[in-house]
Every structure is written in C-alpha cells, then in structure tokens.
Chain A
Amino acid sequence: MNLTVDQVDVLQELVNIGVGRAAGVLNEMIGSPICLRIPYIKVLSPQELQPDLEIRFNGDLLSTVGLNFSGSFAGTAELIFPTESASTLVEVLTGETAGTPDLDSVKIGTLLEVGNIVLNGIMGSLSNVLVQHLEYSLPTYLEGRIDKLFNSKHLDAKASVFLAHTRFIIEQLQIAGDIIVIFKVGSFDAMLKAIDLAFEGDNERDPGSPERVWHS
C-alpha cells in the first residue's frame, strides 16, 4: 500500500497532535521540559516491521508499555524506554532513591500507569479528531530486546502495518524514550477513510516544526 503525500502529511500531523498532548501530560507529571522529534511515518509489511525496528533500537534492552486498541481501527501503541531510563523516570515520579536499575513490581506498576496516560493521550487525540471511538485493553509491560517484544507472527503476512515512530528526550533527567503506534491494516483503510471524512475540504495545514519543547 502506498500513501499519497497528502495522506502522509495528515497522518504525521495527527500523530504530532497526539504526541504533543502526551508530552504535555508527561511534562506535568515530571516537571521537566520534553523535547520531541518529528514523527516518522511508514507503511510496511509485517516481514519488514521487525528488521526496521531492530535497526531503530539497535539491540538495546528495553522496557515497554503496550496499549492495544480496537474499534473503527485497531492496533497497538507502545511507549518504549531503555530499561535504565525507565528506572530513572520511575524514581523521579515516586521520589524513591536509586536502587538497582531493575524494575520491581512497584516500579512496573508506576511505569504501566505512565504508559497508560501517555498512550491514551495519543490515541485519544486521534480518536477525537477523527470522531472514531476506540476501546482499550489493560496496558501490558514487557522487558527485553526488540525481537522479543515485537513478534510479527500474529500479524496477517499479507496485510500492511502502519508504523508511526517518534523520539522524546528529557534532557534534565537524561531520559530518552520512543513512542510507536502500529495499526493493523484493514483497520488502517478505515482510518484513511476517517481522515478523508474529517479533513474533507481542509487544504490548510500547519507545516509543523522539526522539534518542539514542552515546558511546565
């Protein structure tokens, strides 16, 4: 499946709006500025997804919170941190001093809630703009390398997936994280229709900026 330039533009802006809201929430929670990179948008096959992600995450040990969504369109949104960054973030939020970089059940519970809030910020923005209601499953926590975290086997081999990826950096705390949203296609077609409906006749779009910073 190929996207038109206009469709890529709209999708990028939608992800931007959602990530912007999520960054605003994260900024309020931790009180430090969040620097966002411009999102990367790509349509690819399930076979291409895993190698693509492996290149992006370079074999790092990762902590991820996943939120599955369904409705007019379906897929999964993931908040991804190097495990050490995740541990630092939890310490900032809970006010507990550094122990080991490992995440115990309390830390995991905190990270799950952070992921839940951030990912709902993104998906909720998409839902509101496109006027399409989404249902969410309980968020899940996984730790490991990207090949373990994203197994393409459960995806229909003939289908396409839509990958949106953005990186955020909290310089004061030396935390970097990534947000990726993977839409299962079938549902992606439905999303494109929703976009066409929502943006019918709207030719004026904000070109956006390569980098944005949220301050508390």
Chain B
Amino acid sequence: MALILIVEDAALIRKMLQKILKAEGHTILEAPNGLQGLQMIRTHNPECIVLDLLMPEMGGRQVLLALREEGLQIPTIVVTADVQQTTRAECLELGALTVLNKIPKPDELRHWVKKAIGVVTQEEIYEPNS
C-alpha cells in the first residue's frame, strides 16, 4: 500500500479522507496548509497527494506550481469545494491528476488514489452513478 499525504486545512475533511484511505491500508501523512505540505513532500516523498485549494499560509495552486517548478512528478488529487469549471481546468493545466468536489464519495476517492499509485485495473474504472 502507499504513503499518501493529505494537505487540507479543515480537520473535519482531513478526518473523513484519512478514514477512507486508512481503511484501504494506506499510510497517511497530514498537513494543515500548503507550506507544511510542501515541506513534507520534500522530506517524505509521498506516492500520492490529496490537496485542498483554499488554505491559509499557502494554497493548493501554489503547491501545484511548486511541484512543477521543482520537477516533482507526484500524482496529485485536488479535493476542493470550488465547483467552477474554470478552476477545474486550471488545476488540470497545473498538473493535477483530477479534481474532485467536496465531499468526494469514498468510491470516487479510492478509485483515483488507485489510479495515482498505478494499481487501477480496467475492471475498477469508476462510474459516478454506479
């Protein structure tokens, strides 16, 4: 199983995401903002990042930019309350693997994490209405 970093300022959401991913056997690291998240990325080299956008200190967009500038190719799943199509497009352009709206359904999150760590199979392709 994988080492996953959750970068999210809201404790409630961190707890929800952590619960879903721990049940899958992943090891979870947590950071309450982008600045601490970036430091943990550099020191722990996680296999996947679950990233909020709007956070104090440093937001998710800045983290995506820093990853790109430093050439760190870590699959990043953006989880945000922002439902704007323009925001989604911007995050994908900045290198995010996908953008999920809060609060993601457990199946949806599990699917994208599997995809991020390269263990998704054809049979496990997520269909939102299934």
- Which A residues lie at the B interface, using CB under 8 A? 21, 25, 28-29, 93-94, 106, 109-110, 112-113, 116-117, 120-121, 124-125, 127-128, 133-134, 136, 138-139
Contact = CB atoms under 8 A, between A and B. Distances in A.
Which of B11, B12, B56, B87 is most buried by chain A, counting CB atoms within 10 A of its CB? B12
27 contacts: A25-B102, A25-B103, A28-B103, A29-B103, A106-B11, A109-B10, A109-B12, A110-B10, A110-B11, A110-B12, A112-B10, A113-B10, A113-B12, A116-B54, A116-B81, A117-B81, A117-B102, A120-B83, A124-B82, A124-B83, A127-B84, A127-B86, A128-B84, A133-B86, A133-B87, A138-B54, A139-B54
Nearest to A111: B12
B54 A125 contact: no
Main secondary structure of the interface of A (DSSP, over half): helix
Contact of A128 (B11, B54, B83, B103): B83
B112 to A, nearest CB: 18
B85 interface: yes
Contacts of A110: 10-12
Nearest to B85: A128
Interface in B34-76: 54-56
A51 B17 CA distance: 43
A116 B85 CA distance: 17
